[in-house]
């Protein structure tokens, strides 16, 4: 990945570039004790930044780390750091906590060794006309098998292999199911479908990330008279859908234009959701 302009707040100071944060004995490098969140700054706005900063603290606590930076402080630090960017290119906002040392036999993280950084880097907003998804043979873990209540780095190799496998089959992304075989999410985003004018999205069951963009889009559609039904949805439901789209902080709302061998057109609900999102994002004062 090309290293675009990057600023990181670490140990009380801003550092330019891909500053070193780990050593060979860092617990997070060795045993995966890291959590993060991802928000965006584009066109002068950072939608739901407060929620992303609250969620990174919840993720830290879920992994037994010390969420030592109040969310409001992370928000304020973000706005301070964003002054270092010219705003021509969108910025990815990534707060992160990790453990430096382990506890009992090194395995659990030692919360007293928790570290924090806030990494900001230029990453253009892409608005693809659509993307394709293939049903993955890999599944989302349950809470019993992985800390699915945290946005933790250790969950992502599973998404990575699902995406690589989907790409090898000619798709852009993976449609990942839960352990019961119901649709959960893509490798990088939440998923919605429309059938006969009704909008649906998988009901959260502890296996997939119940996204902040997902919640925002549900609220915006509902306020516009299009309530979204949360329920268990099968692959067949998606194959029979009139429209499919995904939500996530990175690219917000994007239509799915192929699922397995079925082609779909970008539809009116995805367009409406995207328009509503932009309208709302620009009508909310910067936090
Ligand atoms: N699912 C996964 C696996 C993700 O990585 C993301 C992006 N953070 C999402 C869903 C979307 O979540 P959010 O809208 O909170 O960014």
For residue 132, is pLDDT > 90? yes
The domain over range 131-283 is classified in CATH as 2.40.50.140:
no
Residue 61's closest CA among 9, 119, 111?
A: 111
For residue 285, is pLDDT > 80? no
3-state secondary structure 188-212: CCEEEEEECCEEEEECCCCCCCCCH
CB 47 less than 6 A from any atom of ligand 1:
no
pLDDT of residue 126: 87
For residue 103, is pLDDT > 60? yes
Taking the CA atoms of 175, 208, 279 and 53 in sequence, report the sign of the dihedral they define: negative
Q: 77 or 2: which carries more pLDDT confidence? A: 77
User: What is the DSSP code (8-state) at residue 64?
Assistant: T
CA-156 nearest atom, ligand 1: 3
pLDDT digits (tens, 9 = 90+) for 13-64: 999 999 999 999 999 999 999 999 999 999 999 999 999 999 999 999 999 9
Residue 141's closest CA among 178, 86, 100?
A: 178
Distance in Å from the first CA to the final CA of the chain: 31
Nearest CA to ligand 1 atom 10: 189
Cβ(255)–Cβ(264) below 8 Å = yes
Q: How far is the CA of 105 from the centre of ligand 1 (A)?
A: 33
pLDDT of residue 127: 82
Q: What residue spans define the domains of the chain?
A: 6-122, 131-283
For residue 287, is pLDDT > 60? no
Nearest CA to ligand 1 atom 13: 211
Cβ(280)–Cβ(68) below 8 Å = no
Same fold, 6-122 and 131-283: no
Choice from 42, 92, 213 to test ligand 1 binding pocket (greatest atom count within 8 A of CB) = 213
Q: How far is the CA of 88 from the centre of ligand 1 (A)?
A: 24
CA-159 nearest atom, ligand 1: 3
Contacts of 170-174 with C-beta under 8 Å, sequence gap 24+, read 170/132, 170/134, 171/132, 171/133, 171/134, 171/258, 172/131, 172/132, 172/133, 173/131, 173/132, 173/133, 173/134, 174/133, 174/134, 174/135, 174/136, 174/138
pLDDT of residue 195: 98
CB 37 less than 6 A from any atom of ligand 1:
no
pLDDT digits (tens, 9 = 90+) for 50-71: 999 999 999 999 999 999 999 9
pLDDT of residue 1: 60
pLDDT of residue 277: 98
Q: At what angle do helices 71-82 and 49-62 cross, to 10 degrees?
A: 130
pLDDT digits (tens, 9 = 90+) for 148-180: 999 999 999 999 999 999 999 999 999 999 999
pLDDT of residue 286: 61
pLDDT digits (tens, 9 = 90+) for 178-216: 999 999 999 999 999 999 999 999 999 999 999 999 999
Cβ(32)–Cβ(54) below 8 Å = no
CB 209 less than 6 A from any atom of ligand 1:
yes
- The span from the CA of 227 to the CA of 219, in Å, is 8
Q: If you write DSSP's letter for every residue of 233-247 in order, what string do you get?
A: --HHHHHT-SEEEEE
Topology given in CATH for the domain delimited by 6-122: D-amino Acid Aminotransferase; Chain A, domain 1 (3.30.470)
Average of per-residue pLDDT across 241-250: 98
- The span from the CA of 110 to the CA of 118, in Å, is 21
pLDDT of residue 84: 98
Residue 270's closest CA among 230, 238, 226?
A: 226
Rounded to 10 degrees, what is the CA torsion of 109, 208, 91, 99? 0
């Amino acid at each position: 990945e090309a290293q675009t302009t990057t600023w990181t707040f670490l140990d009380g100071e801003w550092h330019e570039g891909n500053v070193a944060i780990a050593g060979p004995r860092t617990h997070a490098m060795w045993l995966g004790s890291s959590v993060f969140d991802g928000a965006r700054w584009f066109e002068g706005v950072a939608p739901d930044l407060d929620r992303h900063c609250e969620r990174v603290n919840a993720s830290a606590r879920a992994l037994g780390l010390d969420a030592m930076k109040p969310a409001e402080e992370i928000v304020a630090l973000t706005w301070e750091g964003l002054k270092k960017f010219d705003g021509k290119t969108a910025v990815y906002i990534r707060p992160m906590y990790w453990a430096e040392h382990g506890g009992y036999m090194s395995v659990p993280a030692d919360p007293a060794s928790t570290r924090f950084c806030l990494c900001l880097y230029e990453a253009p907003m892409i608005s693809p006309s659509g993307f394709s998804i293939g049903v993955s043979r890999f599944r989302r873990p349950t809470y019993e098998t992985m800390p699915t209540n945290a946005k933790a780095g250790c969950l992502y190799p599973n998404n990575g292999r699902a995406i690589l496998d989907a790409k090898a089959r000619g798709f852009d992304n993976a449609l990942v199911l839960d352990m019961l075989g119901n649709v959960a999410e893509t490798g990088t985003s939440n998923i919605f479908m429309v059938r006969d004018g009704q909008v649906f999205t998988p009901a959260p069951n502890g296996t997939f990330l119940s996204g902040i963009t997902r919640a925002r889009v549900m609220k915006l559609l509902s306020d516009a008279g299009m309530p979204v039904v949360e329920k268990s949805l099968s692959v067949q439901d998606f194959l029979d859908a009139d429209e499919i789209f995904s939500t996530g902080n990175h690219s917000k709302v994007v239509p799915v234009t192929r699922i397995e061998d079925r082609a779909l057109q970008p539809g009116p609900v995805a367009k409406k959701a995207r328009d509503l999102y932009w309208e709302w994002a620009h009508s909310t004062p910067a936090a």
